[in-house]
A and B are shown apart, each in its own frame.
Chain A
Amino acid sequence: MVLTIARATYDAIVAHARRDHPDEACGIVAGPEGSDRPERLVEMVNAAGSPTFYEFDSTELLQLYKEMWARDEEPVVVYHSHTATEAYPSRTDIGLASEPGAHYVLVSTQHCTDPSEGNNEGPVEFRSYRIVDGEVTEEEVAVVDELTPSNEE
């Protein structure tokens, strides 16, 4: 198993996580149904506005899914950040994971806090998992210059 993702999308997810630090950032990358190609990044607002929790706003969640259905897309990647801990799914993440076909990306910005409480450009962790029926399986992340059909498994 591997998550193949374009450099630009990878960078945008990391930038989102850095920007929202110390609150958790969240979003998805949609792609054509069944393609396993994360093509369209959608940054979501963390309605919880919290350093320890994230949740998509329920109205925005419906808009997002209706848009994906209209485009024959599905959530290929579901991402969020951990701002004080490592990039590994928490018990809450595992319990609430509801897209068995998605790559769950965790970005850790735990080393991005200045002593003065500002954000810095410290190193981030970017890891990907499958979460199915409460079981977590880490997978490789392959960052490519551009997604092409030849990147498909």
Chain B
Amino acid sequence: MAIEVRIPTILRTYTGGEKAVTGEGASLSALIDDLESSHPGLKDRLIEDGDLRRFVNVYVNDEDVRFIGGLDAELSDGDQIVVLPAVAGG
């Protein structure tokens, strides 16, 4: 089972500069744990206090994961994941 994850510029320090990496997992939470094992440090940039960080957006097949279960969102082989930091400020 392979799921492609698009990594934003600011997090490519964790992926050796790679724009996209692959991982596996039946849920977003499991996928992030799997990514952490090959790209240590990544998880902490995505998750805070057991939930997705407020200003990090994760999309599964173009859907904001917050609308489809958040970290519990179910994933399938071939899903396309995109991680994008929010563009926001004060």
A residues touching B (Cβ–Cβ < 8 Å)? Answer: 26, 28, 44, 48, 52-56, 58-59, 61-62, 65, 78, 80, 89-93, 96-101
Tell me the bound Cα distance from A44 to B89 in angstroms: 14
Q: Which residues of B contact A (CB under 8 A)?
A: 8-10, 55, 57, 59, 62, 64, 66, 82, 84-90
Indicate if the CB atoms of A62 and B57 lie closer than 8 Å: yes
Nearest residue, chain A, Cβ from B89? A93
Q: Are A93 and B84 closer than 8 Å at their CB atoms?
A: no
Q: Is the CB of A78 within 8 A of B87?
A: yes
Total residue contacts A-B, CB cutoff 8 A: 63
Sample of 8 A–B contacts (CB below 8 Å): A54-B89, A56-B88, A59-B64, A61-B84, A65-B82, A92-B89, A98-B87, A100-B10
Asked whether, in the complex, the Cβ of A100 is within 8 Å of the Cβ of B62, the reply is no
Verify B86–A58 contact, CB threshold 8 A.
yes
List of A residues within 8 angstroms of B10 by Cβ: 98-100
Interface of A is mostly: mixed
Q: Given contacts A99-B9, A100-B9, A100-B10, is CB(A62)–CB(B62) below 8 Å? A: yes
User: How far is the CB of B13 from the nearest CB of chain A, in Å?
Assistant: 10
Contacting residue for A53 out of B66, B85, B88, CB 8 A: B88
Cβ of A152 to closest chain B Cβ, rounded Å = 21
Residue of B nearest to A75 (CB): B87
Residues of chain B lying within 8 A (CB to CB) of residue A91: 90
Q: Which residues of chain B have C-beta atoms less than 8 A from A101's C-beta?
A: 9
Contacts of B86 in A (CB 8 A): 55-56, 58, 61, 96, 98
User: Which residues on B sit within 8 Å (CB–CB) of A52?
Assistant: 90
Contact of A90 among B62, B66, B89 (CB under 8 A): B89
